[in-house]
Amino acid sequence: MVKEAVKNLKPYVPELTLEQLKKQKGLDKLVRMSANENAYGTSADVAKALDKWHYRDANLYPDSNADELREIIASQFDINADKLIFGNGLDEIIELLSRVILEPGDEVLDPAPTFSEYALHAEIEGAKIKSVGLDDSGRIDLKAMARSISSKTKMIWICNPNNPTGTFLEADAIRAFVEDVPEAITVIVDEAYIDFTGGIHDSVIQLTKEFKNLVVLRTFSKAYGLANFRVGFAVCSDPLIGYLQAARLPYNLSTFAEIAATAAFKDQSFVDNTVKKVIAERKKWEHFLIKAGLPFYDSATNFIFFQVKGGDADALHEYLLENGYLLRNGLRKDWLRVTIGRPEDNQAVQKLIADYLA
């Protein structure tokens, strides 16, 4: 009835809405610090742009090419506009790449731990995922990944910075890695969190001009604060971009999503401000974790992954939830991931953790 590969799938368990969870737990107030959303909201320009939309156009299909959004992104990154493909969130691009590239029996490399969608879609296509452990500092181990390449390898995922560890690889390291990967293997660098590094030369988008087998992914869901609108994109070269365009759904972005993303992209000062605040709060989190004696990885993102050393991560997770704060557990035994929130929420969670450990 269904294809062999999907029979044993474990479905993605999405976050409950805040309202659902509040009701379930009997809470008046609940702050989600588990999904890496932008704690500082969305650019005010987004609402202004959406207000101008004419609802009488609701019967018309959206612009399949997302031309306005395409043009401003291409000009900002100084790339050919034809190198861009948009998705209903980056999730859709991850699915599309897997669907277009993979056949049953192919091998896919990803780091471990990393974003779970890479493995899910490899599995749906009947491919085999080979996960490669991180190095001692929690960074993606490019040498070990290179050693894991076989004649069956078709795709390599590099999440940079990596979710859930938050660790970051310099562009030069990725360049050296891609140089050694055979051209028949597609290397995908997921830069969902690249804005939060604070560096301006950290992206490898420019390397797509040099390497035809390199794909770079971006999303509007994190630093741009648009998770609800579902907009992500890939930068890649011929001939892969043509195959992706041929296989994608023709109207995967609503006009609403395109307007919102365009307005958000134009307001880089909102992104800059978000990043500044996140970096300042991230430093306070690091300071707190050191003082509390809890090991963590150096994060270049809007979240921190830490070990509940000497305690029980699930119990701490529940204690924080009962006090109105939701963190992410279940990614690694004894570890929790916290999204950098607003200053008052970070402080409150830190105090709760300190009380719990005392």
| Binding positions for ligand PLP, rule: CB under 6 A | 36, 89-91, 115, 159, 163, 190, 192, 219, 221, 227, 232
Element holding 240 (H helix, E strand): helix 240-247
Report the nearest approach of ligand PLP to the CB of residue 38 (Å).
Answer: 11
Report the nearest approach of ligand PLP to the CB of residue 261 (Å).
Answer: 10
Give burial (CB, 10 Å; 0-12/13-18/19+) of 25: middle
| DSSP conformation class of 328 | B
Q: Render 109-132 in DSSP notation, one character per residue.
A: EEEES--THHHHHHHHTT-EEEEE
Please, which residue, 253 or 292, has the CB nearer to ligand PLP? 253
Closest CA to 174 of 138, 201, 137, 136: 201
Report the nearest approach of ligand PLP to the CB of residue 223 (Å).
Answer: 11
Please, which residue, 90 or 174, has the CB nearer to ligand PLP? 90
Please, which residue, 91 or 345, has the CB nearer to ligand PLP? 91
Tokens of 177: 């890695």
| DSSP conformation class of 107 | E
List Cα–Cα distances, 187 to 110, 157, 211, 244, 341, in angstroms. 10, 6, 10, 15, 32
Report the nearest approach of ligand PLP to the CB of residue 43 (Å).
Answer: 17
The residue with its CB nearest to ligand PLP is 89
Report the nearest approach of ligand PLP to the CB of residue 36 (Å).
Answer: 6
Answer for the pair 147, 174: CB distance below 8 angstroms, yes or no: no
Report the nearest approach of ligand PLP to the CB of residue 269 (Å).
Answer: 22
Report the nearest approach of ligand PLP to the CB of residue 105 (Å).
Answer: 26
Please, which residue, 225 or 288, has the CB nearer to ligand PLP? 225
Answer for the pair 194, 218: CB distance below 8 angstroms, yes or no: yes
Please, which residue, 38 or 219, has the CB nearer to ligand PLP? 219
Please, which residue, 160 or 350, has the CB nearer to ligand PLP? 160
If you compute the radius of gyration of the chain from its CA atoms, what whole number of angstroms results? 21
Please, which residue, 91 or 107, has the CB nearer to ligand PLP? 91
Closest CA to 224 of 173, 271, 184, 257: 271
Tokens of 299: 């994060």
Please, which residue, 112 or 227, has the CB nearer to ligand PLP? 227
Tokens of 80: 């050919």
Report the nearest approach of ligand PLP to the CB of residue 234 (Å).
Answer: 11
